[in-house]
């Protein structure tokens, strides 16, 4: 475990020594704030609720997460450092988890900085602190799943641009799959099946401030599955 955090610290230093982490954080803050106050016109709403604000997080992650994870493996391959990294005395799981925790931490910092929005609008309505904490917990769990997906996309890409585009496509499908089910007139069983694989569908309860253990388990399962696949890709390259 200690070696994982050593790798995570190295990745974090690398992220914050470049403009990427700062740019992604700033973009995320501006995106969700502008959408809430200017597009949705929060201050003009009849009822003060933050549900539309948190419901925007899955959409924002479609661009934000690939921007964070595109460097994870694609940059290592481009710079020729992937081969060096694979010869070090780290297991593929340690390498994958080190990069995962670093990207997830940067995303968590960006999410935490949005707390100024609930604090700013708190005097305008009767907000439930427990519900808001549940919404942030859901954002972190969904972020873990999204980071694992983006990191897996990066492991299959040759450069940052292709890693970013692949991550956007993967997250676009994984996040908005429920829109297909709600837009098209599909059989109920098929619609439920599609909804089950949608990140935003499983975030809906959290966006309402309701912590559902089934949705939490789904996010953790997705994160584990794609970290496992990422480790398989790295192991394959290590021995190929």
**What's the pLDDT at 84?**
64
| pTM summary value | 0.90
**What's the pLDDT at 42?**
61
**What's the pLDDT at 119?**
81
pLDDT digit of tens for each residue in the chain (240 aa)? Answer: 688 888 889 889 988 998 989 999 999 999 888 877 776 666 555 556 677 788 889 999 999 999 999 988 777 776 666 666 666 777 888 889 999 999 999 999 999 999 888 887 767 666 777 888 889 999 999 999 999 999 999 999 888 999 999 999 999 999 888 887 777 777 788 888 888 889 999 998 898 888 899 999 999 999 999 999 999 988 787 655
**What's the pLDDT at 197?**
87
The length of the chain, given as a count of residues: 240
Cβ-contact 215, 138 below 8 angstroms: yes
**What's the pLDDT at 85?**
67
**What's the pLDDT at 52?**
77
**What's the pLDDT at 45?**
58
**What's the pLDDT at 180?**
77
Domain count, the chain: 1
| Domain extent at residue 78 | 2-239
């Amino acid at each position: 475990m200690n070696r994982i955090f050593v790798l995570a610290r190295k990745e974090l230093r690398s992220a914050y020594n470049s403009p990427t982490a700062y740019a992604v954080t700033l973009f995320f803050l501006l995106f969700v704030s502008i959408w809430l106050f200017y597009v949705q016109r929060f201050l003009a709403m009849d009822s003060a609720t933050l549900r539309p604000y948190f419901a925007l997080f899955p959409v924002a992650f479609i661009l934000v997460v690939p921007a964070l994870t595109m460097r994870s493996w694609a940059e290592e391959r481009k710079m020729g450092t992937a081969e060096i990294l694979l010869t070090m005395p780290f297991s593929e799981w340690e390498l994958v988890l080190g990069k995962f925790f670093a990207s997830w931490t940067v995303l968590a910092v960006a999410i935490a900085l949005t707390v100024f929005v609930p604090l700013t609008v708190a005097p305008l309505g009767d907000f439930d602190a427990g519900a808001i904490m549940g919404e942030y917990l859901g954002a972190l769990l969904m972020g873990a799943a999204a980071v694992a997906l983006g990191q897996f996309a990066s492991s299959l890409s040759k450069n940052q641009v292709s890693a970013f585009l692949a991550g956007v496509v993967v997250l676009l499908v994984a996040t908005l799959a429920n829109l297909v089910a709600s837009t098209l007139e599909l059989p109920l069983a098929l619609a439920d099946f599609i909804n089950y694989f949608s990140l935003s569908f499983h975030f809906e309860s959290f966006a309402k401030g309701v912590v559902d253990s089934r949705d939490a388990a789904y996010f953790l399962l997705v994160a584990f599955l794609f970290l496992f696949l990422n480790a398989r890709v790295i192991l394959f390259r290590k021995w190929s």
